Amino acid sequence: MWLLAIILYFLLACLVSWMILFPAGREFMLNGLSAAAQRLHRRVGQVAQRGRRDAEALRQNGSASANALGAFLRQHYLLCAGGIVLLCLPPLLAVVLGARATLSGFETSTREVNTQVAELLQGEQLVPPPALPPMVFAQAQAEVAQERPMLISASRDWNQMHADYTQRLLMVFKIMKEKHGYDMAILEGYRSPERQNRLAAMGSNVTSAAAFQSWHQYGLAADCAFLRDGKLVITEKDPWAMRGYQLYGEVAESLGLTWGGRWKMMDFGHTELRLPGVMKKR
């Protein structure tokens, strides 16, 4: 008997806590009260239609029930008060402990706010840098001919890339310059399907993606490198450049871009913005 009473009390306490602490519980309680009110309204209407005699009888029965309930409460007021305290204790403890957890788990951050990222989120429109002379890329081509063939003919037109990706990449350039002291340049942005297929035919050391399997075709990817003393520095063998690529990846990822430096076939200068619903699965 006592075990059954404890189980019923526990279930009732859990139900009351659920209704008080959770929106779904409160919604369930309100819906239940609303439905009960509607049923009561219909019942009262039916009773009213039966006539004054039935209404008087109902009133007398209700009065008798109220008197009986009042007598029970007067005789067992200590038991009733204890039951109310026991029912209210679990929700009260849950509220107090929940408030403490919230205060201790979400303290005010002391980290420095990245004002440049805030500017991007507020809609600052950055302007692409001036185009570099073709000779700069011709000089770099000799150093990375195997890894990046056809570099001279690559598109570096910012206007052919997706506007959202363009602004994020320009913000990366800005942070790399102002915070880390690296000047950056785009090697290739938008890439046509025909060019993608030609590069894929050169082998997996160049790219393993065929046409429309690369975010370049959607203007949502770019390959970038560093400028030092007016020359492109692309190779990862240069410690200065390798350090720059690591910083570049961190900054790009902080702005929601995917960095190729984390891939199995690492591409340190590559970033892309993977917008949902753009690239069809193949």
- Is residue 232 a contact partner of residue 239, using CB atoms and an 8 Å limit? no
pLDDT tens per residue across span 82-134: 667 666 666 666 655 544 433 333 233 333 435 555 555 566 789 999 999 99
pLDDT tens per residue across span 31-80: 666 666 677 667 766 655 665 666 565 566 656 666 666 676 677 667 65
Confidence check: pLDDT of 157 > 60? yes
Report d(CA 54, CA 48) in Å as an integer: 8
Inter-axis angle of helices 77-105 and 2-21, to 10 degrees? 50
- Is residue 158 a contact partner of residue 130, using CB atoms and an 8 Å limit? no
Confidence check: pLDDT of 263 > 80? yes
- Predicted local confidence at residue 110, as pLDDT: 35
Question: Phi-psi bin for 256: left (phi > 0), alpha (psi -120 to 50), beta?
Answer: left
DSSP for 108-156 reads: PP-SPP-HHHHHHHTT----PPPPPPHHHHHHHHTTSTTTSTT-TT---
Tell me the average pLDDT of the chain.
Answer: 80
Confidence check: pLDDT of 270 > 90? yes
- Predicted local confidence at residue 41, as pLDDT: 65
- Is residue 262 a contact partner of residue 250, using CB atoms and an 8 Å limit? no
C-alpha dist (Å) from residue 8 to 12, 14, 77, 94, 261: 6, 10, 21, 19, 59
Higher pLDDT, 25 or 192: 192
